[in-house]
């Protein structure tokens, strides 16, 4: 019996034009973009479709924008494949909110509004800290943790074998990159980001996010949703809140999350939202895992055909 997991894109996947062809081709998609604009009180759809890139890249727009486009991909998949059955969801950082919403933990409007506020709170934390991030390529986790400890930064994302992301004060990140290279990293690349996500420098966003989540009605999920914080399924609604708050500063344990699903017999993974980063990670975690994705009209058609075939 095949088991399907839906994977939802995280921040960094944004690209000007995302969702535009879906809204033009599918009335159902346009309705979701209109609904999002109404919920937020500004034209997020136009930022997604037309940019400018500087506006779309702002955390407070990128996070709800990726959530929205990923959600539209999810809704169109259900429309195109009415008998679609999925058995778990997961999402990278911001994508965890989309994964939870798709699994019934909160309403679309609540999810979108919380993600918009989360982006705003994280941007505020970035503005008052001098933070940065870097990708460490080709160094194992133990040696990367050593480099982090020596430089005074943290491991932010454990994405897949050979690709880890570190986070912390900008000057310490530069030092950590030097140490990582000395320990054998193939590359240590500073990332173009607003600040030090998934590090203690984001702590000021946590109480604000907690207050926003407490305004939302959270439900028990109707399928397991893997938490970034511990790579295990979310539990009761109160625990969902605490883990989403914790996640702002905690490491994203993505590789471990995918290995949990693989160990449970999941045999199909569908990435939803802009880009194909999660599919790329999965190819390095298990190159035999069947992958599909939906980011635009062409990939929607291809995935619908594969599932209906």
Catalytic residue numbers read 93, 198
Q: Helices (DSSP H) in the chain: which residue ranges?
A: 20-25, 27-40, 44-50, 53-57, 59-80, 95-102, 108-127, 141-151, 170-182, 205-213, 237-247, 254-263, 277-285, 297-308
Main-chain phi, psi angles of 93, to 5 degrees: 55, -110
| Whole-number CA gyration radius for the chain | 19
Q: CA 202, CA 122: separation in Å to the nearest integer?
A: 6
The two beta strands, 154-160 and 163-169, are antiparallel
Q: CA 233, CA 39: separation in Å to the nearest integer?
A: 29
Q: CA 150, CA 141: separation in Å to the nearest integer?
A: 14
């Amino acid at each position: 019996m095949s088991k399907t997991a839906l994977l939802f894109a995280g921040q960094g996947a944004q690209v000007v034009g995302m969702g535009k062809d879906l809204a033009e081709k599918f009335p159902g998609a346009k309705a979701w973009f209109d609904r999002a604009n109404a919920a937020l009180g500004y034209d997020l759809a136009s930022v997604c479709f037309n940019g400018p890139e500087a506006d779309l890249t702002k955390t407070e727009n990128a996070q709800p924008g990726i959530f929205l486009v990923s959600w539209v991909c999810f809704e169109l998949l259900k429309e195109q494949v009415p008998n679609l059955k999925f058995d778990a969801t997961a999402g990278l950082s911001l994508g965890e909110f989309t994964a939870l919403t798709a699994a019934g933990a909160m309403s679309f409007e609540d999810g979108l509004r919380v993600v918009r506020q989360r982006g705003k709170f994280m941007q505020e934390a970035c503005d008052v800290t001098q933070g940065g991030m870097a990708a460490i390529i080709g160094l194992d986790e133990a040696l990367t943790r050593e480099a982090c400890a020596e430089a005074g930064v943290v491991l932010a994302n454990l994405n897949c074998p050979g690709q880890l992301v570190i986070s912390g004060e900008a000057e310490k990140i530069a030092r950590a990159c030097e140490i990582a290279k000395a320990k054998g990293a193939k590359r240590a690349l500073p990332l173009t980001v607003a600040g030090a996500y998934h590090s203690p420098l984001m702590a000021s966003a946590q109480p604000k996010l907690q207050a926003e989540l407490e305004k939302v009605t959270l439900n028990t999920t109707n399928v397991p949703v893997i938490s970034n914080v511990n790579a295990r399924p979310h539990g009761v609604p109160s625990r969902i809140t605490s883990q989403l708050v914790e996640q702002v500063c905690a490491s994203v344990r993505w590789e471990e999350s995918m290995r949990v699903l693989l160990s449970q017999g999941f045999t199909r993974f569908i990435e939803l939202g802009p880009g194909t980063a999660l599919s790329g990670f999965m190819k390095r975690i298990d190159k035999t895992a069947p992958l599909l994705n939906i980011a635009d009209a062409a990939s929607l058609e291809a995935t619908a055909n594969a599932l209906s075939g």
